[in-house]
Amino acid sequence: MNRTLLTREFARHNLSRWIVLLLDCSMVYLSGLVACVVNHGLANTVSNLGLILQTMLIYLSPFAAGFLLCGTYRNIFRRTSFPDLVRVCMALAFAVTVIMLLRIFLHADNVLFAIRLRDLILLSLLAVTTICGMRVGVKTLYDLYLRYTTSGGAYGYSERQLIDLEMADLLDRNPIEVDMDEIRAKLSGRRILVTGAAGSIGSELALQLASLRPQRLILIDQAESPLHNLRLELERLYPRTDCVYIVADICNGPRMERIFASESPEIVFHAAAYKHVPLMEENPVESVTNNVGGTRLIADLAVSYKVEKFILVSTDKAVNPTNVMGCTKRICEMYCQSLSSNRPDGCRFITTRFGNVLGSQGSVIPTFRSQIRRGGPVMVTHPDIIRYFMLIPEACALVLEA
């Protein structure tokens, strides 16, 4: 495995939050034992070792609760920042406060080993040193690892280049995995047509479909250069896959009908659409013509030429739409729903709605890259906005599963 692959594997595998919690609790437990030895002496600690171990085990609960309540595990371990260290300190302070309240109001010292305030202070100092030290150490080692395994600095890029973040790192969760064997069984050997094949979603769909050994893959897009780039990529990765690359506008009725007549697709993935909200607000006619008119044309042809399944790639903006783009996609959904048939020989229409897809054209990551290249500032829509993200491969795999 070369250095690039090692770096990628290192970046994508995250420790489970529960493992990190277990490590933190172990640090607290050991810090408590050391504090007892320092404050009570080794002989006294050994003579009361059983009670001390039992007491520390019970008192671990407030510490674990503090770690969870203070959000100590919001960030990925190797991406530790100053706010993460502050949260660790807050969690320890919370636990010390709870233990002191237990001692004062529930007289815990009557049944447990008498852990005094100075024991808790020393425990906290030792715990914050070891817990924060472990995080800083891992972050430092990770940065050094990247520095010496990639060219151009700690993150693999020179000062003139933008840091290329691993998209999986931005999710703060494990990527979604689907049963590709089941999907392969249903799509292998089929004639599959993809519209908008050169776009972010369409190109990833094409790559995943090519890996499933279809009988023929018909790829349509009006963008010549991106479609050419997709062709080069598919020929490199899947040279044995029978692919047809068609430069065409989905609103061109005679052209689309000739394609359906000559290629006889069994499954259609309709990903072609205008998607940028501000542009569509300024060009509503084009939005309706392409999104609604194009979808209506492809959907009607799918029915006429007895396509088995038609998968419409839609958007979360079609939910209670407040803009032109969302309205056009909602109309597309309703039209396809009206055509869907449950008859054995009829075309089934399936709609999948996408939220924010990391790395897609015009999405937040390419926008941030452009802003950073210009020297900033990095602008966000609103500091209180909440967005839910997916990776392009995740989104496309879920479309295939649909």
Active site residues: 317
Distance CA 149, CA 12 (A): 16
β-pairing verdict for 389-391 and 309-315: unpaired
Torsion of CA 325, 327, 333, 334, to 10 degrees: -160
Q: Which of 249, 240, 269 is nearest to 351 (CA)?
A: 269
Copy the structure tokens of residue 340: 């869907």
A 10 A CB-CB count for 259 gives 23
Copy the structure tokens of residue 354: 């996408």
Distance CA 110, CA 31 (A): 23
Enumerate residues 6+ apart whose C-beta is below 8 A from 117.
Answer: 100
DSSP helix/strand/coil, 194 = strand
DSSP helix/strand/coil, 61 = helix
Copy the structure tokens of residue 102: 């237990």
Copy the structure tokens of residue 145: 């690892």
* Residues in the chain, total: 402
Copy the structure tokens of residue 255: 């052209």
Distance CA 134, CA 15 (A): 13
First to last CA, the chain: 34
Distance CA 290, CA 196 (A): 11
**For the chain, what is the radius of gyration of the CA atoms?**
29
